[in-house]
Every structure is written in structure tokens, then in C-alpha cells.
Chains A and B, each alone.
Chain A
Amino acid sequence: GAGVSQTPSNKVTEKGKYVELRCDPISGHTALYWYRQSLGQGPEFLIYFQGTGAADDSGLPNDRFFAVRPEGSVSTLKIQRTERGDSAVYLCASSLSVPVRNTEAFFGQGTRLTVV
């Protein structure tokens, strides 16, 4: 596709349930990032993939969060036993390669997750 695509655009789930959020990056982009944006705040880094491997998952808040990118393209962010505090907009971005000074990251529209 022309841009980064995230599905679903909105997800409402009950506390304790499991959710999966999908990101389809721009074709050919090897680097993929997940960020989380809480209301009134800037995005916070969660995890970065280079190809199929998670190069840095230091931003994942706890072990309920996990992300995969098995074929080096589409990525899925998985959240187990969701809590109300997980409610946020989850953003995915991709870039052509490992970022250097002139590399631009392109963002999807995000998935708004609401845990009730």
C-alpha cells in the first residue's frame, strides 16, 4: 500500500481480555516501530524491529506486551490480560532502513484501544 496501515482503527475490549493490533508497513521498509500515545502526551517508544528480529524491546512496559514480525513485513502487537491503563492510541511507523540523519519514519493512523 501507499502508507503504513494499522488495523483495527478502534478496538474496545474488556479488562482481562487478549488483543492483537496489526501493522502493515510501507513495502520495502525494513525498520518498523511501535509507539504508544496516551491522551495529552507525546508518543512513547515500545519496540523496534529490523527485519524479522526485535532489535530493541526496552520500551515494552511489562511481559503482558509482546510483538512479532515473522516475515519481516507485517507486525502484530499482542497484549495479554488487558488493563484499563493500557487504553491509548498505539502507533506503528516504518522506515526504509536503520535510521540515519536523513531517514524519515512514516506513521500509520494508529489503533485506539479502549479497555473497559
Chain B
Amino acid sequence: DQQVKQNSPSLSVQEGRISILNCDYTNSMFDYFLWYKKYPAEGPTFLISISSIKDKNEDGRFTVFLNKSAKHLSLHIVPSQPGDSAVYFCAASDSGGSNYKLTFGKGTLLTVNP
């Protein structure tokens, strides 16, 4: 049972345009959400996060939106740059426990074309 789903395995956008990556979750205990970016032969790197008490968090070109009623979050990248080409993982955590294990989606491969 996949608790975090990224239904688009890949996304291709033009440089300068907006990239929108989507993520759905099923576990209502999740209250903290993160996006990680992964280049080939490297580990995932933290990009941006959002707590369930917020519906939006912005960091430079990256904005994450959370819709709790729909159990949906999205990552917007504006403007997209070729260096953004990577696999993006959505992850969720239930911070009510004493550990912080993350449940990941399968990832979306973003390709930004020059």
C-alpha cells in the first residue's frame, strides 16, 4: 500500500516556464511534508518542506502548496532552469512519533529543456 504517490513518472518543460510536480498521500497522520531532489550517482538533497499548519511555503524559485482536505501537495518551480533537471521525491512524516522516518513517493523525473 503506497501511502505517498507521485503519479507522473516524468515531466518535461521548457526553460523559463513553470514546472509543477504533484504528490498525493493517504495517511492522515502525516503532518510534515518534504521535497527532495536527486541527481544521478548522488543521494537525495533536501529542497523545501511544509508543515500541515501551513498551506504554502516559498523559498526562492521553489514553492510548495499543501491542500490537506485533498491530501495533495505540489511543488512549483518558477522559472525552471536546465540545472533543475533531476528526480524529485515527495516525502511525508508523522512527527507525532519520536522518530522521523520518511515515507517517499517513487519520484518524478523532471527534464528542463533549454
Whether both chains belong to one complex is answered with no
- Which residues of A pack against B, CB within 8 Å? none
- Which residues of B pack against A, CB within 8 Å? none
